[in-house]
Amino acid sequence: MRDRLTTSMRASHVLALIFVVAALCLAAFGAATGDTFYLRLGTEALIFAGLALSVDLLLGYSGALSLGQALYFGIGAYVSALTLMKVPSFWLAMGAAFLVTLAAAIIGGLIANRVRGVYFALITFGLAQVFAKVVYNTRELGASDGMIGVPVIQIGLGPFSVSAASPAGFFLVVLGIIMGLYALTAYLLDTPFGRVLTALKANEKRVPFLGYSVWRARMAAYVFAGLVAGLSGALYPMLRGFVSPELMFFATSGNAVISVILGGVGTLIGAIYGSVLLVILKSIIGSWTEHHLIVIGLLFMACVMFLPKGMVGFVRPRIERLLGREPAAPEPAPPSSATIKSGSAA
Partner 1 sequence: MSPIDYLQFVLAPQVVNGLALGVAVVLVALGLTIIFGMLDVINMSHGEFYAIGAYVALAMGAAGIGFWFLLVLVPILMVPLGMAAERLLIRPVFDSKDRHVTTLLVTFGLALIVEDVLKVIFGPNTQRPPTPIPGATDLFGIIVPNYRLFLIAVGALIVAGVAYVVYRTRLGAMVRAAAFDRNMAASLGVPVSLVYAGTFAFGVGLAGLAGVLLAPIYSVFPTMGRDFILLAFTVVIVGGMGSIWGAVVAGLLLTQVQALASLVISPVWTDPIVFGTMVAFLVFRPQGLFGRLGHA
**CB 329 to partner 1: min, Å:** 26
| Residues of this chain, 234-273, that bind partner 1 according to CB under 8 A | 250, 254, 257, 261
Binder among 300, 319, 323, 324 for partner 1 (CB under 8 A):
300
Provide, rounded to whole angstroms, the least separation between the CB of residue 251 and partner 1: 10
Among residues 58, 59, 82, 231, the one that binds partner 1 under rule CB under 8 A = 59
The nearest distance, CB 188 to partner 1, in angstroms, is 23
Q: How many residues bind partner 1 (CB under 8 A)?
A: 40
Name which position in 280, 293, 322, 331 contacts partner 1 (CB under 8 A): 293
Contact between 298 and partner 1 by CB under 8 A: the answer reads yes
Q: Verify binding: residue 144, partner 1, rule CB under 8 A.
A: no
Nearer to partner 1, 128 or 231 (CB): 128
- Which of residues 20 and 281 has its CB atom nearest to partner 1 in the complex? 281
Contact stretch for partner 1 (CB under 8 A) within 13-21, 31-39, 110-118, 220-228? 110-118
Q: Shortest gap between Cβ of 290 and partner 1 (angstroms)?
A: 9
Q: Which of 1, 210, 305, 328 binds partner 1 (CB under 8 A)?
A: 305
**According to CB under 8 A, which residues from 115 to 134 bind partner 1?**
115, 117-119, 121-123, 125-127, 129-130, 133-134
Least distance (Å) from partner 1 to the CB of residue 344? 5
Instruction: Write a three-state SS string for the chain.
Output: CCCHHHHHHHHHHHHHHHHHHHHHHHHHHHHHHCCCHHHHHHHHHHHHHHHHHHHHHHHHHHCCCCCCCHHHHHHHHHHHHHHHHHCCCHHHHHHHHHHHHHHHHHHHHHHHCCCCHHHHHHHHHHHHHHHHHHHHCCHHHCHHHCEECCCCCEEEECCEEEECCCHHHHHHHHHHHHHHHHHHHHHHHHCHHHHHHHHHHHCCCCHHHHCCCHHHHHHHHHHHHHHHHHHHHHHHHHHHCEECHHHHCHHHHHHHHHHHHHHCCCCCHHHHHHHHHHHHHHHHHHHHCCCHHHHHHHHHHHHHHHCCCHHHHHHHHHHHHHHCCCCCCCCCCCCHHHHHHCCCCC
Greatest alpha-carbon span in the chain: 65
With contacts defined by CB under 8 A, name the span among 27-35, 92-100, 184-192, 304-312 that binds partner 1. Answer: 304-312
CB 30 within 8 A of CB 166: no
Binding residues (CB under 8 A) for partner 1: these are: 59, 63, 65, 111, 114-115, 117-119, 121-123, 125-127, 129-130, 133-134, 137, 250, 254, 257, 261, 291-294, 296-298, 300-301, 304-305, 308, 341-342, 344-345
